[in-house]
Chains A and B, each alone.
Chain A
């Protein structure tokens, strides 16, 4: 609060009223309430979902960070946590679930497969969910430890607290897809899906 409020000294009187910029106060209030009670929509597919469940269980417990109620209906959720690999067959499902979430909404891509396709550089796997939905925080790991997911959640809190309600551009990414159905130009999808590193050597089958 300190950065938002100032105390004003009026000559002769005690500092008994506080002054703040309206935008900053509103942003602070709105962002804190949003960040501190993010209700996750667990879109758990594979192994990361198990680590997600372990984070929800008693030892690591993300309820202490505000995620008390896991919203299994997207209509009641704030953040979509895609935990696990996303094959092409599941792509329209996650897009539809994302579209069904009311604004404001955020997406955490948990795990290597959700972020980039992971070890599955093949015909069946989406090479990163950011080709389908806009992502706010990427949590690497295969699977990320519960502490890793908690760190990702805290990063999301930080991002939310840095947002501003008065910024017109901030929800631009959340629009439903256009008629072509893609959220980035096809060249960009091909470019981010290109293999790199060791996997370029592993297309020989014998």
Chain B
């Protein structure tokens, strides 16, 4: 068991859930609300210093009773220590977690992929768009267990939707500048952009 777990419990108390040692790897569960604090502590505290983020992914179990887990693989390079941090989410509830891009820049695309495949929204992510599927993909979130292997639509419908993706979507000069200035735009324009064809963060499937 990685000694960081005990140090975490001393610092964060009840925000740290159960900790397991599986096949030599330490896994610790953290409450979703305290995740950014816990991650910052793990990265910055001397003696722990997990400066290297190995991976971010999510796991949904076949058992409907089990929660959906967002898994973070952390590593302290100089100490050769690994830690796996998990956050549990209710699959029927609100799939939102805070983003850790501000702590590890490598989490950028990794979180986008988790959003694309599972529909988990990362609050505070600078650019949460679909990354592997096209941005206006409407069949759902592929790696969820209720998503069938061959997709929801018929093959002909999938071909038709694919042929109608416009490969130039999102990249006119106006849109690049708009993306930068998003926060300064008036509210009704932001609404129009949100509903428009350009595939911003979809809050529902």
Show the binding face of A for B, using Cβ within 8 Å: 88-89, 91-93, 95-96, 121-124, 126-127, 131-132, 177, 180-182, 186-187, 189-190, 193, 195, 203, 205-206
Whether A189 contacts B159 in the complex (CB less than 8 A), given A123-B139, A123-B142, comes out as: yes
B163 and A182 contacting across the interface, CB-CB below 8 Å:
yes
Q: A92-B163, A123-B147 are in contact. Are A190 and B156 (CB under 8 A)?
A: yes
Contact B163 A132 (CB under 8 A): yes
Write the residues of chain B forming the contact surface with A, with a CB cutoff of 8 angstroms.
62, 133-134, 139, 142, 145, 147-152, 154-167
Q: Which residue of B lies closest to A91 (CB)?
A: B162
What separation, in Å, do the CA atoms of A131 and B160 have in the docked complex? Answer: 10
28 contacts between A and B (CB under 8 A): A88-B159, A88-B161, A89-B162, A91-B159, A91-B165, A92-B162, A92-B166, A93-B167, A121-B150, A123-B139, A123-B142, A123-B158, A124-B151, A126-B159, A126-B162, A132-B159, A180-B160, A181-B160, A181-B163, A181-B164, A182-B156, A186-B156, A186-B160, A189-B156, A189-B159, A203-B149, A203-B150, A205-B145
Provide the bound-state CA to CA distance between A126 and B134, in Å. Answer: 14
Say what secondary structure dominates the interface of chain B.
Answer: loop
Q: Inside 8 A of B167's CB, which chain A residues have their CB? A: 92-93, 96
CA A48 to CA B100, docked complex, whole Å: 38
Is there an interface contact between A177 and B155, defined as CB atoms closer than 8 Å? no
Q: How far apart sit A93 and B162, CA to CA, in the bound complex (Å)?
A: 10
Q: Which residues of B sit under 8 angstroms from A91, Cβ to Cβ? A: 159, 162-163, 165
Chain B nearest Cβ from A43, distance in angstroms: 15
**Do B150 and A177 touch (CB < 8 A)?**
no
Question: Is B150 touching A189 in the complex (CB atoms < 8 A)?
Answer: no
Nearest-neighbor residue (CB-CB) of A193 within chain B:
B155
Closest to A90 in B: B162
Known A123-B147, A123-B150; contact A95-B163, beta-carbon cutoff 8 A: yes
Kindly state the separation between the CA atoms of A96 and B165 in the bound complex, as whole angstroms. 12
Query: For residue B162, which residues in chain A have a CB less than 8 angstroms away from its CB?
Result: 88-89, 91-92, 126
Taking a contact as CB atoms under 8 Å apart, the answer to whether B139 and A131 are in contact is no
